[in-house]
Structures are given as structure tokens and as C-alpha cells.
Chain A
């Protein structure tokens, strides 16, 4: 379900963005097995710190297509209250911290949270996702060193998809990739085929066992390929060849899983076709519903900056309310004025 659901979501959401229905989208084509394979090996009490291309993890945890759609439209049902760009998902109930766009900043958070779990006696770990490009940031190195020296049960899950926007991995690092860095920080480290969901699952299950039992970090480098553009703001044909893209797409992780399941006699073309069609239908419906919903109300512009509303924000809120009374045309479409 996670694979066809994710594929259908990527296809329909991407097209919707291109039609201007919402402002931005990022697909995860080529990396589905990394997200879903790792998620399947984690437990619900494990806490996720993602980058921004791991919606397979959320899907696996039970985030609904409707919830994805609500977030992309920034409507009133979205926990982030429309304040962030599309794809910045988060779910308290699913132990998935809200996405923030800066790179690698979430890695030290995952270490601190893992340390907290350990101190609290919870038999769980945190999982921190990032790309091979983000691994160049200082925060990666701080996080790895802290996790190792302080003994934090965190899984560093690197999606090495070959590109940081246009910059190929060959210009991002030398030496033995990201996995090679684990040993130098004194942590167990492994490299897997990120396009093979079963391999990813097996590696993650063992890594989790080591981390939780030993109170220590483990690094997993999942090798894959970003089949799509970096985002809807990017055109990857400017910096990579059609031939390269074709070769990698022939190794599509979802098709590989499908073939394996078919070979096992657990799945067939007919079931696949049906599931794809029904997934697509669900995604389209979710978007239609989300698009019709109101935006969060005007008052949400100023809440949540702090736990309370300090005097200066009360003043500014009153200023905006007064401005909107005088210039009602400036109120964004679909936004109720509750001030």
C-alpha cells in the first residue's frame, strides 16, 4: 500500500503543483524503498526526524493521503496552520517531528531526543534522515560525535541519492562515502542498496537492535538515485543526461519490489493495476477535498510564536485586524476573519 500510495501521491501532487493548485512539491521517486524499508523496521515509539523527502515513512506510519493533501494546501486541518510550504509535514501522534527546510539541523535534535529516550528508560531509538549533501554540513559532524560520545540510540539514515540539487556526489565528498565516516566517529556503520526494500529493512532492523540494546548510534547509508527533479523549482535535465536517468529508472525500487512479490506468487499484474488505480482515485479525491477547505483563520498569524501572546504581538494583531477592516481585499482568499 505504501508503495503504490506513494507513487500515486507523487504523480498527482506533482501534476497539481504544475497546474498551480499549490505552490511547491518534492517527489521521492527512486528512493521509496529507503523510506518505506526503514520505516517498516522501526517501531511506533521510535521518533522520526526527517529531512524533506521521506513521505514514505509517514505513509507507513499511517499518515493519510488526506492529511498530506491538507498540508500541501495549507488549510485549516493542517497542524502547521498553513505557515510552512507544502511537504513540511509533521505528526505528533505518529512521532514524526515537523519538517524544517534547513539541512542537517535535525541531526543534533535526533541525538538529544535519543539521549532523552535513554534517560527516560524508553526502549526505543530515534531515526534521523538526511541526504549525502546534508552530510557536508557541520551539524552532521556535531551530531555524529555527540551521539557516539554520549551514547545516544539514534539511527543516522543517509539517503545517498547521488545529487544535492545539481551537485553530484562526486563533488560532495571524497573517500569512502558517508558510511565510511561512521567508523571514524566510533559507531557501527553499514551501506545498503537503497533501492532494495528488503535489504533496507534488514539493515535497519539490525541497526535498531544494536542502537536500542547498546545505547549507541548506528549509521546506515542507503545508495539510491533521485529519479525526479530536486523539487518543482528544479529542472534536472540541465545537469544530468537523459541516458543516466533512463538507466536508473530501469532500477525503480517499487518495480523491483513488485517483481519480487510477483515471483513469490503473492502479487500479480491485475492486483497491481487495481491498487494503482484505486490509489490514484484516493489521491485525486483527497486533493479535491483539501482544496475546498478554508484556510486557518486570521488569528493564527500570531499564535504559537510563543506559548502565550505577548503584549507586542497583541498590538500587532490588532493592527492587522484594523488593516483588514479598512482593506478587506487584502485578506487572503479562503481565510476566515475571526478578529
Chain B
């Protein structure tokens, strides 16, 4: 699908972006459609809202999710309410805001954070977090085409580590549908972004250790999330573990655990648990202990099974 109304912009986007995500786009589509902006996140997101409301399809980049916060007002009070407050006379659904998030091993406080939960608290936004290159393409194209504003968090660890065949041409994955990353019968692990790989590794470890069979669900979209898929899985396994990098308190894991506890209460074999970042700022030298690791998830699986 070709859309001549798509514009791509943000800090350093013109030369290809600091993560090279927009490489070659300016040469191909011109400076009027692919351009640098001054450094102002509220400016970038506010500009995207206006452009979308006037019929363009803006794909804006916030250089690091850690720096998205000056734009919070534009997301919460503007993008999210544009349709509702006008009785659907106006909307900014054409906009997609991409932001690299998450741990990379050396990012410290301001190049490591996972702020997705803030945005899941904002009715009107859709929040999407792909777990790999193929997923990123399909979900990004679907987000761009989606009639609602989308916040699209990309696990920046994978910019350098992920290698995968990606379909050519127009390829979309529906927003709002989770993916069964691994089938299993004993424990359900829900994760998104980079943590899907950690969940899969932990699942492989426990399978090999003693035959515990884990089902891994890549949630893909956090708002609105695919509750039905998680519910079906937990109804089968009776055990739920949610893994995310963000601090545990008020993280999106809390929402999943609360909803599934209610709906699967009589089928649960163990208390649903969360393996998450701790409630501290992201601490550079403590990162190996802070970010959920395979051994932490493996321990949680064993505890769930033993309960």
C-alpha cells in the first residue's frame, strides 16, 4: 500500500537516525517527507497530532523512550482525546510515534527505561511493542494504517542482536492480537518486546531440566490487550507468570494478573506472579540483576509448579 501522505520525522531522522531506522528514506522520499526536527519531544508529538488531524500519516520518532516524557501532555490530553472530545468530528488516528526502549547493557538511567505502562493508562491510545524484526515490520505497518494513534515501543537491544528473515512487500500483523510464541501445558508466560526472548529461553531451560512445559505468549499489543488469548492459555495451564523490564509496581503486569485472577480464579493452580524490574531507577552496574534474566524466570517457573 502506498500512501503519499506519510511523513517521517524526529531528531536526527534525516541522516538515518541514531539507530539507522530511517536510513535512505530522505534520499528516496525527499526532505519534505523525511526530515529532522528541532529537539523538542512535545513539539514532535504535537506536530504529529496536527498533521494527522489534517489528513497526513505522520510517523514520528522519539530518539529514546527515556526522553518521551516532555511529550506526555500531548499524548495524554491531546492525542488520546482528540476523537472523543469532538464526538468523532476530528481524530489524529493517522499518527504513529516510534520510540526505542529497554535495556542494552550499558544505558544507565536514561537509555534503558521501559515506560509503556504510563501509556497503557491512557484511554484513546494504542500501545504496541514488537518482539523481533518480522513482528516489527508487520506491526509497524499495521500501526501506521490503524485509525487510532499508536505508541510503538521498539526494544533497542534487538537493533543489534536480532537476525531474522522479514517478509518483503506489504506485510501486516493485526494490532490487538497476541502471538503464541511457544506451546505448552504447565505454565503460561506472558511477555512483550525483548522479554519474549527471555521467556522463551527460560521455557527451553525448564523443558530440558525436567520436562516442565511452558506456553509463551508474546502480547504484542498492550492497549487494548488480547485478554482472550491469555485467558485461554491460563485456563489450560493454571499458572501465570508475567515478565517485563519496567519496575514491578504499577507495571502492565499488574493489569494482566488482576484480570486473569478474576477470570481464571477457579482454574489457577498457583498465584499469578510477576518477574520484573525492581522499584528503583534503572541502575547501570546492577543491570544484570535488575532486568529479568533467564535464571530469574526459571526460578519463578519452578516455584509456580511446586506451589
- Do A and B associate with each other? yes
**Chain B residues closer than 8 Å to A172, beta-carbon distance:** 38-39
A102 to B11 Cα, complex, angstroms? 14
Is A164 within 8 A of B11, CB to CB? Answer: yes
**Chain A residues closer than 8 Å to B14, beta-carbon distance:** 166-167, 171
Q: Given A85-B107, A326-B299, verify A136-B12 contact (CB < 8 Å).
A: no
Spot the interface stretch: A196-204, A209-217, A327-335: A327-335
Closest B residue to A22 by CB, please name it: B106
- Indicate whether A60 reaches chain B with its CB closer than 8 angstroms: no
Spot the interface stretch: A38-46, A61-69, A232-240: A232-240
- Indicate whether B288 reaches chain A with its CB closer than 8 angstroms: yes
A74 to B107 Cα, complex, angstroms? 13
Q: Given A85-B284, A302-B280, A332-B289, verify A138-B70 contact (CB < 8 Å).
A: yes
Majority secondary structure, A binding face = loop
Q: Which of B18, B39, B110, B299 has the most CB of A within 10 A?
A: B39
Spot the interface stretch: B172-180, B197-205, B290-298: B290-298
Majority secondary structure, B binding face = loop
Spot the interface stretch: A106-114, A271-279, A316-324: A316-324
Of A164, A238, A301, which is within 8 A of B283 by CB?
A301
Count A-side interface residues using an 8 Å CB cutoff: 47
Q: Mark A291-310, 1 if CB is under 8 A from B, else 0.
A: 00001101001100100000
Is A239 within 8 A of B15, CB to CB? Answer: yes
Closest B residue to A240 by CB, please name it: B15
Q: Given A83-B283, A316-B279, verify A301-B290 contact (CB < 8 Å).
A: yes
A320 to B283 Cα, complex, angstroms? 14
**Chain B residues closer than 8 Å to A296, beta-carbon distance:** 285
Closest A residue to B293 by CB, please name it: A330
A166 to B10 Cα, complex, angstroms? 12
Of B38, B106, B288, which is within 8 A of A173 by CB?
B38
A→B interface (CB under 8 Å): 23-24, 74, 82-85, 88, 100-103, 133-134, 136-139, 164-167, 171-173, 233-234, 238-239, 295-296, 298, 301-302, 305, 312-313, 316, 320, 323-324, 326-327, 330-332, 335
Q: Given A133-B39, A234-B18, A327-B295, verify A302-B285 contact (CB < 8 Å).
A: no
A295 to B286 Cα, complex, angstroms? 10
Closest A residue to B289 by CB, please name it: A320
Residues 12-26 of B at the A interface (beta carbon under 8 Å)? 12, 14-16, 18
A165 to B43 Cα, complex, angstroms? 18
Is B18 within 8 A of A233, CB to CB? Answer: yes
- Indicate whether B67 reaches chain A with its CB closer than 8 angstroms: yes
A138 to B46 Cα, complex, angstroms? 12
Closest B residue to A24 by CB, please name it: B106
Of A137, A238, A301, which is within 8 A of B70 by CB?
A137
**Chain B residues closer than 8 Å to A102, beta-carbon distance:** 66-67, 69, 110
